[in-house]
Structure 1
Amino acid sequence: MQDEFTRFGLTNVQRKLTGVLQVIGGSGLLVGFLVPVLGLISSLGLTLLMILGFAVRLKIKDSFVQAAPSFIFILLNGYISYKIAQSLNIIT
């Protein structure tokens, strides 16, 4: 992963921050089974993180196949956010 982040043009601090945010987001999704609002916040945060990851992939001109995992996680976390917001009656 260090080599990948170097290829992305990102620093070690950004790499570590990304890892910490991913762990916090994943943990928040698990806690979201008990506290749906935390699940919503976590899934929105992970969606944003993956949008930024996808943008970095586009910026360095990776192929769509290389960028596909981040795009798939955008869709997945977006769907999770939508369903949680729907269950909380935030949206209809």
Structure 2
Amino acid sequence: MPSSLTIVTLFSSFSFLFYGLSCLTSKRMAKEFERFGLSKQRNLVGMLQLLGGLGLGIGYYMSVTIAAISAAGLSVLMFLGFFVRLKIKDSVVASAPALMYALLNLYLALLFFKAFV
């Protein structure tokens, strides 16, 4: 039976792979980035999400260092996303998923960095 760390890591990894692809290909996401005032950054954010999701998933099985760096990067990305949503006056409920992913990946980063040191 997989451990809770495995489940949480794979959940985050697959979430970011899905949202990274969506960010790069979805017209709805393109409109969201326009609303955020970040149209030019959409492809960068999508690529960072894909790289972070891949790094987290692969790193979990192959390199705790890669997993730790990926989780830390995803945490920063999501904290920035949370603050962008607050800046454009989205509700706390609409902003909550970004904060949840930021905290989840911060937790993973701390666990992986602890295993690394």
More helix by share: 2
Q: Distance in 2 between matches of 1:83 and 1:10?
A: 32
Alignment length, in residue pairs? 88
Percent identical among aligned pairs is 48
Identify the residue that residue 72 of structure 1 maps to in structure 2.
100
DSSP-derived class of the 2:89 partner: coil
Structure 1: gaps (5+ residues):
none
Divergent runs of 4+, >6 A: none
Identify the residue that residue 24 of structure 1 maps to in structure 2.
51
1:45 offset after TM fit, Å?
0.5
**TM-align CA RMSD:** 0.8
User: Which of 38, 41, 56 is equivalent to 2:84?
Assistant: 56
- 1:20-74 deviations in Å (ceiling 9; x for gaps): 0000000000121211100111001000100110110011011000000000001
1:15 offset after TM fit, Å?
0.5
User: Which of 39, 43, 46 is equivalent to 2:74?
Assistant: 46
Structure 2: gaps (5+ residues):
1-28
